[in-house]
Amino acid sequence: MKERSVAGKWALVTGAGSGMGRTTTLELAREGANLILVDISGESMGKVAREVEALGVEAHTFCVDLTEWGQVENMADAIHARWGAVDILINCAGIAHMSHMVETTLEDWAKLLAVNLWSIIHMVNAFAPKMIERGSGQVVNISSGQAFFAVPTWGAYACTKYAVDGYSEALRYELFWHGIGVTTVFPGIVRTPFYEAITGGPLVRIGMKVLMAVAAKPETLSRMIVKGIKRNKRHVIQPIMLPIYFLKRTMPWVFEGAGKVVAWVLKREEAGIAP
């Protein structure tokens, strides 16, 4: 598939101050794209902006709470007035959550949905119309490998990522007729601060250490994302998730059993019973 250059394009990245947002921002800068960085943390975003400028391209920052439509709308108006429609919109902002479904508070649900889903809806509603007027652009939404298999105690988080997958699928069909591509990214295990807030018993701690030992560097996935943008790929799937992607469809009984066993082991650990 022929690759399109991103050099000289204007790319907007949310969650640009850390993790995969930062590494994707820097990867785009190395390819010659100019960057608009959006994050709720101005300090971390400022550091990334300096890294971007050191690579010889422009960097502009907006400190915005993406869950607040008014803030997103004001930012979009300012960006469109100065640069017109952005060429690439990458929705990287997201948060993790680990808890049993019935123990996830309504406040946690509201925060997860606001950051992981509503922020994407806000950004697309704010920036896609100008792309449609121009007749070109690329939207990139970050889902998760948990949209393939919802692991026990990650159900609420997985729910938001299933929603991102479905949202992106319909959006891709609709925007296709306006010359706009939509790429959905399915990370598996990536070594970022995303997992630092995860706590639990001995099995959870051991499991997290094992996961981090086999986790990919965020730079690796960011290179895949940028290649996906250049090729207008429908999906970007981290290789470690490909077996789950295919086997869940052909051998669902394996995942049905695995899910129940993991849930049983975690419940016993929480109750203080040796597995």
In a domain, 212, yes or no: yes
- Positions in the chain short of pLDDT 50: 274-275
User: Is residue 122 within 8 Å of 66, Cβ to Cβ?
Assistant: yes
Radius of gyration of the chain from its Cα atoms, rounded to whole angstroms: 19
Domain residues for the domain of 95 are: 10-241
**CA-based max dimension of the chain:** 62
Residues linked to residue 140 through DSSP beta bridges, in sequence order: 90, 183
User: Is residue 124 within 8 Å of 139, Cβ to Cβ?
Assistant: yes
- Model pLDDT, residue 274: 46
What is the model's pTM?
0.87
> Measured at the alpha carbon of residue 195, what is the angle toward residues 191 and 200, in degrees to the nearest 5?
135
Residues linked to residue 138 through DSSP beta bridges, in sequence order: 88, 181
Tally of domains in the chain? 1
Q: Which two three-digit tokens encode residue 35?
A: 């960057």
In a domain, 253, yes or no: no
Q: CATH number for the domain including 130?
A: 3.40.50.720
HSE-CB for 3 with a 13 A CA cutoff: 11
Residue with tokens 């891709």: 172
Q: How far apart are CA 61 and CA 81, in angstroms?
A: 15
- Model pLDDT, residue 136: 97
pLDDT digits (tens, 9 = 90+) for 118-170: 999 999 999 999 999 999 999 999 999 888 888 888 899 999 999 999 999 99
User: Is residue 31 within 8 Å of 6, Cβ to Cβ?
Assistant: yes
In a domain, 269, yes or no: no
Tell me phi and psi for residue 33, to 5 degrees: -80, 145
- Model pLDDT, residue 55: 97
In a domain, 260, yes or no: no
In a domain, 247, yes or no: no
Q: Which two three-digit tokens encode residue 206?
A: 């051991």
In a domain, 32, yes or no: yes
Active site positions, annotated:
157
In a domain, 189, yes or no: yes
In a domain, 268, yes or no: no
